[in-house]
Amino acid sequence: MNLELEGRTALVSGSDRRTGEVIADTLAREGARVIYHGNGSAPPRGLAVCGDVATEAGCDQVLSEIAALGLSVDILVNNYGTTDNHGWDEADSSKWLEMYQINVLSAVRLARGCVNGMRARGWGRVINLGTVGTFRPAAARPAYYSAKSALATMGTSLAQELAGTGITVNTVSPGYVRTEQVEAGYRRLAQKLGRGESWEDVVKLIVERDFPNPCGRIAEREEV
């Protein structure tokens, strides 16, 4: 495909591994100048920055490092986000605040830091990575799903704010994606239930048990 990204600079948060790395690599193949980001340390890439974007100081560090490279962000992919296993009984106020800092405010901070430059140039793209759990939340991980729902709402509000400026804002909410954690967890479950060992067997279990969908499979990271 040709996304006509030559000459554009893209920042992908959380692109030191997993889905974020695949997204960044894909944008690079499409001709974009990609800035890779790691929360704890800069990925071993040509253009890379680091900073904990779940904090104001960490986000300021990322933006300062980008400015020091003499670059301005045209495409912001808010991929960074994570969760852990928590339920309603375990999730106290600190857990809810933690999930919002990681999954919502990290994106807000980066958007605020990049959008003014996009507006001045009359072109920009902001893409937030959401989750199908925004629309189909489970009982588990309530703070995470609530935060991801807020991320989608934030994106809609920002899109309205930037209407007519040449900047688009979209939230991509994939279903289950074949990451290392998803594959490892469901392989263990399939083995425990005696459902087979092949990836095809595992996918069938996922679709039947947790993620029924017309395609009958889950997404690969490259498809996101």
Residues 188 and 120 in one domain: no
Overall average pLDDT of the 39-50 stretch: 87
Angle value at C-alpha 96, between 144 and 16, nearest 5 degrees: 50
Lowest mean pLDDT among 7-16, 117-126, 210-219: 210-219
- Has residue 1 been placed in a domain? no
At residue 135, does pLDDT exceed 90? no
Give yes or no: residues 200 and 118 share one domain.
no
- Predicted TM-score (pTM) of the model is 0.85
Place of tokens 């300062």: 64
Provide the number of structural domains found in the chain: 2
49 lies in the same domain as 29: yes
50's CB contacts (< 8 A; 6+ apart) are 37, 38, 39, 40, 41, 42, 61, 62, 65
- The pLDDT of residue 60 is above 70: yes
Alpha helices in 30-92 (DSSP H): 56-68
Q: Read out DSSP for 112-181?
A: HHHHHHHHHHT-EEEEEE--GGGTS--SS-HHHHHHHHHHHHHHHHHHHHTTTTTEEEEEE----B--HH
**Pair (89, 194) in one structural domain:** no
> Do 193 and 161 share a domain, yes or no?
no
Helix (H, G, I), strand (E, B) or coil at 25: helix
Q: What percent of the chain has pLDDT over 90?
A: 66
Whether residues 82 and 168 fall in one domain: yes
| Pair 192, 169 in one domain | no
Q: Is 14 left (phi over 0), alpha (psi -120 to 50) or beta?
A: left
Decide which of 128 and 206 is more confident: 128
- Residues 106-131 have pLDDT tens digits of 999 999 999 999 999 999 999 999 98
Residue 37 sits in a domain of what CATH number? 3.40.50.720
Of 152, 173, 194, which residue sits at a domain end? Answer: 173
**Which position has the higher pLDDT, 118 or 46?**
118
160 lies in some domain: yes
Looking at the fold, whether 77 and 120 belong to one and the same domain comes out as yes
Distance CA 41, CA 30 (A): 25
Do 213 and 120 lie in a common domain?
Answer: no
Residue bearing tokens 């889905």 = 19
- 183 with 169, same domain? no
Judge if 167 and 204 occupy the same domain. Answer: no
